[in-house]
Structure 1
Amino acid sequence: MAKTSTISIDMTIEDVMTTWPVTVQVVMAHGMFCVGCPISGFHTVADAAFEHAVDLETFTSDLARAIAASEEPG
């Protein structure tokens, strides 16, 4: 069953990666090594982008694109 691909900048990075495992690749590609990091349960998408000097709009767009691609029938 496909999950809703609505992502919010207020979601924690941990929630994003748990809900949509395909996003782990996106997070890593942006130089964020949040997998296994104890702060990932507290940092929101916006926090992580800020802390890692990543453009928030680009980051969220890349996350959404990966989620959408993973939900396409195939």
Structure 2
Amino acid sequence: MKSRFDHDMTMDTIMRRWPGTIRVILDHGMLCVGCPIASFHTVSDAAREHSLDEDKLIDDLTKEMK
């Protein structure tokens, strides 16, 4: 069983653990796939960097974390 989402997880960890989240990330206009910073940025960091609503991003990501 895959572990649950944790706010300290990096974007890279999230995409590797739950590949379905890649589509969500791309749909939000983020280019985290292949980005060298993805292994350092948390969801909060990425949302802030891309001027996105963090709660909406987390909600959309967690829907894909099955």
> Is the TM value for this pair above 0.5?
yes
Residues 9 and 60, structure 1, Cα contact 8 Å, conserved in 2? no
1:8 aligns to what SS in structure 2?
coil
Unaligned runs of 5+ in 2: none
Unaligned runs of 5+ in 1: 69-74
Q: Which AA in structure 2 matches 1:8?
A: D
* Aligned equivalent of 1:50: 48
TM-score normalized with structure 1 length = 0.82
* Aligned equivalent of 2:14: 16
* Aligned equivalent of 1:7: 5
Q: Which AA in structure 2 matches 1:61?
A: D
Q: RMSD of aligned C-alpha atoms? A: 1.0
Q: Which runs of 4+ in 1 moved over 6 A?
A: none
Residue 7 (structure 1) shift: 1.1
TM-score normalized with structure 2 length = 0.91
1:3-61 Cα distance to aligned partner (Å, 9 max, x none):
23x21222100000001000000011111000000000011111001100111110000
* Identity value in percent: 45
CA distance in 1, matches of 2:14, 2:40: 12
Q: How many aligned positions are there? A: 66
